[in-house]
């Protein structure tokens, strides 16, 4: 049984369609990166999964209807919307007491163990902590919950690069055990490339790209093309082309484009693209397809 399965998931706010017939499936034990521009429907999708909003279509999370069975579902789910949401007046020890009182699967000793690795004092109030310390506290509280599903919506927003790295390192080393499922949305996409097992792009309320990271690394290649080989490279019909410091960088889908890695190596330096570069290519192509009325074929080509 998948952890999350949706069929025709739709949500509109007045005349604004936030989710437009979304189909998705997330298997247990995976870490999904859900990536999209502002207003694409990411947070709406997460709110539906968490049972925070009603919706049209079919949605099952851990085998339950999240809108109808939210109370039971929340026993198996943890959620971080933003590390800044902890009340500024609360003390660290009081935060621990509160979570212990409301969540049946909270392990106080585990939370204390996580905090012992930090400089956070139990008597400190949240307002006395740095942003990085608040992130550490929030993560300690969440990782001490024996949840089957963890949902992270921009969890490192506002943190500096050091604390963002520590956040994801702790998530992998101290929490993820290949049985728990994690969904993360972020605009700092390059930082999760080594973290996630699966990748999904959403745009204008629709899923426009799905793949696992093994496929990502074998299927896509980026080439910094030698100037005298540019016409030859373009003849292979890359997905996308961009200019960086006067150099042409072409992105290829090796299952679709008329190229293989040996051919590309003769054209210039070959490497695996970053998630951000593939995102720009896919979303750009999807927007072009929408202008020509060919949205569905673009989705099918990207998702397979």
Residues 110 and 190 in one domain: yes
Residues 258 and 276 in one domain: yes
In a domain, residue 209? The reply is no
* pLDDT tens per residue across span 120-144: 999 999 999 988 888 889 888 988 9
We report the CATH number of the domain holding residue 163 as 3.40.50.300
Mean pLDDT to the nearest integer, 261-272: 93
* pLDDT tens per residue across span 156-199: 877 788 888 888 888 888 888 889 999 999 888 888 999 999 99
With a cut of 80, say whether residue 290 has pLDDT above it.
Answer: no
For residue 130, the enclosing domain spans: 4-204
Distance CA 222, CA 278 (A): 9
With a cut of 50, say whether residue 149 has pLDDT above it.
Answer: yes
Residues 169 and 257 in one domain: no
Residues 176 and 288 in one domain: no
| % of the chain beyond a pLDDT of 90 | 64
* Total structural domains within the chain: 2
How many other C-beta atoms are found inside a 10 Å radius of the C-beta of residue 263?
17
pTM of the model: 0.87
* pLDDT tens per residue across span 5-39: 999 999 999 999 999 999 999 999 999 999 999 89
In a domain, residue 138? The reply is yes
Q: What is the pLDDT of residue 302?
A: 44
Residues 154 and 230 in one domain: no
Q: What does residue 177 show for φ and ψ, rounded to 5 degrees? A: -130, 20
How many other C-beta atoms are found inside a 10 Å radius of the C-beta of residue 152?
27
Residues 197 and 250 in one domain: no
Residues 159 and 35 in one domain: yes
Residues 276 and 190 in one domain: no
DSSP string, 181-247: EEEEE-S-GGGGTTT-SEEEEEETTEEEEEEEHHHHHHHEEEEEE-GGGHHHHHTT--SEEEEETTE
């Amino acid at each position: 049984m998948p952890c999350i399965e949706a069929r025709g998931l739709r949500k509109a706010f007045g005349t604004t369609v936030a989710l437009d017939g979304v189909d998705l499936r997330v298997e247990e034990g995976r870490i999904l990166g859900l990536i999209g521009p502002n207003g694409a429907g990411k947070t709406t999708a997460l709110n539906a999964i968490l049972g925070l909003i009603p919706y049209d279509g079919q949605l099952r999370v851990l085998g339950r209807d999240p809108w109808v069975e939210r109370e039971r579902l929340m026993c198996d789910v943890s959620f971080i919307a933003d590390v800044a949401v902890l009340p500024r007046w609360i003390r660290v020890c009081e935060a621990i007491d509160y979570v212990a009182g409301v969540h049946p699967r909270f392990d106080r000793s585990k939370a204390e163990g996580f905090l012992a690795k930090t400089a956070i004092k139990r008597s400190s109030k949240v307002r006395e902590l740095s942003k990085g310390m608040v992130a550490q506290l929030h993560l300690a509280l969440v990782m001490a919950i024996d949840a089957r599903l963890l949902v992270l919506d921009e969890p490192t927003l506002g943190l500096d690069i050091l604390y963002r790295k520590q956040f994801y390192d702790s998530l992998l080393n101290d929490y993820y055990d290949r049985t728990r499922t994690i969904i993360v949305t972020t605009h700092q996409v390059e930082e999760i490339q080594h973290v996630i097992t699966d990748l999904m792009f959403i745009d204008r309320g629709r899923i426009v790209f799905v793949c696992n990271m093994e496929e990502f690394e074998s299927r896509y290649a980026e080439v910094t093309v030698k100037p005298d080989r540019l016409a030859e490279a373009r003849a292979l019909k890359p997905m996308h082309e961009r200019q960086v410091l006067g150099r042409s960088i072409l992105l290829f889908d090796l299952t679709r484009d008329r190229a293989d890695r040996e051919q590309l190596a003769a054209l210039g330096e070959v490497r695996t693209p970053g998630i951000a570069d593939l995102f720009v290519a896919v979303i750009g192509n999807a927007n072009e397809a929408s202008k020509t009325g060919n949205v569905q074929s673009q989705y099918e080509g990207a998702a397979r």
